[in-house]
Amino acid sequence: MSSEIELKRLEQRAFRDANQDGLMEILMGAVFSVASLAWLSPAPAWMPGLFVIFGPLALEALRKRFTYPRIGYVRLRQEPPKRPLLGVRSVPLGMAVYVLIVLGAWVLLLAAAGDVRDASLWRKWCPTLLALMLTGGFIYLADKSGRIWVYGWIVFSIALGVACSLLNFQRSYAAVSAYCLVMAVVFLPCGLVKFVRFLRNHPIRVEEGSDVGQ
Amino acid sequence: MSANEMGKEDLQPIADIDRIIHEPARLMILAFLYVVESADFLFLERQTGLTRGNLSRHAGKLEAAGYVAIEKKFVDKIPRTLFHLTDKGRQAFRDYREEIMQVLGRLPD
């Protein structure tokens, strides 16, 4: 129905406007940077997890400081999808199904590449698994933002994952670390450029400092 | 069906259209709030392109009709006026959408 398409576009525009500050990309870049380091040394293996837990809190604090005074605040809808994905209505269940499909595809890939029980083979193809997992996030982002170029991220991410898997690294997990490093190198500057442009294009007008409203 | 063939009964759905919603500024506000959970004054102002005065006036009418809830609070000592659609407003918007599509669908080419 055309009216539903228009409402979808309206929702996508709200999503894009709410995320135009580049802070999400900076956070992702930070997570990838820490993950890249964490894969190389056993000690800080929990650090990316900390970023994932506290990242949204930091993001909200930064947005309170920089974003909301400039473009206002919006809370996007978090309701379950009306159209079932793969026949599944619940979001967590849908994610579980997606993870199972990806793991299944990855095991098939390992079987094609050699002995599935070989741990070194698992480590070698870890970047591809990570890229496939991230694909779900990118698909969600593409749907929410309505931006077709997000699919470019998917192509880039999978190509990078496969390339890192095929290269021969000396250290264990160096391949997945390299994957995270390249992703961080791409995401961080993108986010910083977006953030600086956002600050430039949306100065705080004096009367906007407080929302008078009524 | 020509326009002349449309009788009073055919025109009745047009007269029944919700006049609170059937105003471009209010329709914009409702349509936007329909696709988000809530938004503050500044975000709504930017999305709709309405002036502050217009937005305040139309939001006030929607609030009076029970379609929109307006919540005022302080976040870190900064005032924030939050708007969100009520259940009644959500249903009214759905009904309006169906009515207007039916009316337009019945008009002759």
Residue from B27, B29, B34, B41 whose CB has the most chain A CBs within 10 Å, to mutate: B41
Q: CA of A49, closest CA in chain B: separation in Å?
A: 28
| Arithmetic mean of pLDDT over chain B | 87
Give CA–CA dist A203/A71, Å, rounded: 9
User: What type of residue sits at position B108?
Assistant: P
What is the residue-level pLDDT of chain B in tens, covering all 109 positions? 555 555 666 677 777 888 999 999 999 999 999 999 999 999 999 999 999 999 999 999 999 999 999 999 888 778 889 999 999 999 999 999 988 888 887 777 7
CA distance B30 to B24: 10
- Would the CB atoms of B47 and A13 count as touching at under 8 Å? yes
ipTM for this model: 0.82
The reported pTM is 0.82
Q: Does residue B2 lie in a domain region?
A: no
Q: How many domains does chain B have?
A: 1
Boundaries of every domain in chain A: 2-77+89-203
CA distance B39 to chain A (A): 4
- The answer to whether residue B77 is domain-embedded is yes
Question: From residue A157, how far is each of A43, A132, B42, B55 by CA, in Å?
Answer: 27, 8, 36, 43
* pLDDT at residue A3, rounded to an integer: 58
Are B44 and A73 an interchain contact pair (Cβ–Cβ within 8 Å)?
no
In-domain check, residue B3: no
Does B69 reside within a domain? Answer: yes
- For B64-87, what is each residue's pLDDT tens digit? 999 999 999 888 778 889 999 999
Task: Residue B102: give its domain's CATH number.
Answer: 1.10.10.10
Q: What is the pLDDT along chain A (214 residues), one digit of tens a residue?
A: 455 658 889 999 999 999 999 999 999 998 898 888 887 776 556 666 777 788 889 999 999 999 999 999 999 987 655 555 555 566 677 788 888 888 888 888 888 888 878 888 888 888 999 999 999 889 989 989 999 989 999 999 999 999 998 988 887 788 888 999 999 999 999 999 999 999 999 998 765 544 544 4
- Interchain contact, A64 vs B97, CB within 8 Å: no
Nearest to B42 by CA among A118, A184, A68: A68
Domain with B94, as residue range(s), is 8-106
